[in-house]
Structure 1
Amino acid sequence: MSTVIFSLRRPSGDAEPTVVLPLVRRTRDPHEGLWALPGGWLGDAENLEGAASRTLAETTSLDPSYLEQLYAFGAVDRSPSRVISIVYWALVREEVASTAHRERVDDDNVAWFDADDLPPLAFDHTAIVGYALWRLRNKVGYSRIAHGLLTDEFTVADLREVYQAILGRRLDPANFRRQVESSGNLLPTDRFRTGSHRPARLYRSNPDVELADRGPLAE
């Protein structure tokens, strides 16, 4: 089984984030030396989600904020030994990914790549990543999935940056604020983030609301 792990990374200090994912360099055939999704075998006493969490931790040291089964991939030519792979996809908060990256800085077999600029991948992993990206971009329109990439408290601008990174396009700030504030999906706190601009209110995700039919960008 394999896991597609999405997080965010800022190329420089104040730059807007992009969607990134970790890959593992294969150390044996087939496809020795190529990059691949982190994964491993299903243990005799494991359920699928438990195995996905374990292999994710073993290969990348990451603890996801969101984990969901994506699809089963079993094309005849995907592997010389006809391996069927159950694939999960996960979200990891930016600060968690940054910490894990620093801890594994000397590990040449694990590296982070921009999701839209990947090297050649082993097996059918390029197609798997593409499908996972489609799933993420589709789901962000009708669910709270973007919140899995945020800290517990965030500003509306933070949330808009996550949407922009996932969708790959700019969003009108005023229109976005109006839509998310009317969705009932945000709980305002009494705290503000201060800086060079006027203070920005901090929000929390409302766990009692799931946008089943129309998300903030469904129009």
Structure 2
Amino acid sequence: MPEPVAKFAVTVDLVILTVQRDVLHVLTVTRAVPPFEGRAALPGGFVHPDEPLPAAATRELSDETGLPHDAGHLEQLATYGEPGRDPRGRVITVAYLALLADPPQPAGSADWTATGPLLADPAALAFDHHRILSDGVERARAKLEYSSLAAQFCPPEFTIAQLRRIYETVWGTRLDPRNFHRKVTGTPGFVVATDHHTSSDRGRPARLYRRGPATSLHPPLLRR
């Protein structure tokens, strides 16, 4: 006799990070229906029966931000399936991490929220979204050490000082400007110098750079 098939639902949840005014922000939504009505939560939704998981994640990213499906960096973070994580029944969620530069202001109940207060309060988010957010922020911090993803937070052309502030914001630490400049410009393929400079009435104009072809950093930029 065949074993009974367990009934459960599958969702995707998104940790969508950006840097605004030198503060790390995450996109949150206010839930309009139970459970956790009125509480803040990470954006996400149920996976359609005929929909691959990456397609569901890009659909939710586009719906929540208004950005095209190929905007920014999107990667699978982890799967969360503890019994009781959703009061509605057995729901397994696959979380994705997105890193965006200068995204538009979201519509409806969505808003960009500073990650600091959310990480400090385990009850600030609905479901187990505090754990998912914590994992997403730590993944972003770790990836900045050995990949070139920090440039995903930057505009198409940026100064080394702007890039350094991304690292300082995500890592929550201060970096020596000269050492950082030396390491970044000395890492093959990380950034490419342009012929453009910032225009400033005060001080020396700074050279502008763009993202290079490298996806990994050798040696890595380690947190201290």
TM range (shorter): 0.7 to 0.9
CA–CA separation in structure 2 for the residues paired with 1:194 and 1:55:
39
User: Match for 1:198: what amino acid?
Assistant: R
Deviation at 1:203, TM superposition (A): 0.9
Match of 1:3 in 2: 14
Backbone CA RMSD of aligned residues: 1.6
User: Match for 1:123: what amino acid?
Assistant: F
| Structure 1 residues not aligned, in runs of 5+ | 11-16
Match of 2:4 in 1: none
User: Match for 2:27: what amino acid?
Assistant: P
Match of 2:86 in 1: 79
Match of 2:3 in 1: none
TM-score under structure 1 length normalisation: 0.88
Match of 1:111 in 2: 111
| Residue pair 1:68, 1:90 contacting (<8 A) in 2 also | yes
| Structure 2 residues not aligned, in runs of 5+ | 1-11
CA–CA separation in structure 2 for the residues paired with 1:110 and 1:165:
22
Q: 2:48 aligns with which of 23, 43, 54?
A: 43
Provide the aligned length of Structure 1 versus Structure 2.
Answer: 204
Of structures 1 and 2, the larger Rg is shown by 2
CA–CA separation in structure 2 for the residues paired with 1:137 and 1:115:
13
Match of 1:206 in 2: 212
CA–CA separation in structure 1 for the residues paired with 2:179 and 2:204:
19
Deviation at 1:186, TM superposition (A): 1.3
Match of 1:14 in 2: none
CA–CA separation in structure 1 for the residues paired with 2:221 and 2:187:
7
3-state secondary structure, aligned to 2:185: helix
CA–CA separation in structure 2 for the residues paired with 1:187 and 1:59:
32
CA–CA separation in structure 1 for the residues paired with 2:117 and 2:193:
37
2:66 equivalent to 1:61: yes
TM-score under structure 2 length normalisation: 0.86
Q: Deviations over 1:48-83 (max 9, x none)?
A: 111111112223324441000000001112112120
User: Match for 1:197: what amino acid?
Assistant: G
Task: Call closer, same or farther: CA 1:213–1:82 in 2, change over 3 Å.
Answer: farther
User: Match for 1:128: what amino acid?
Assistant: I
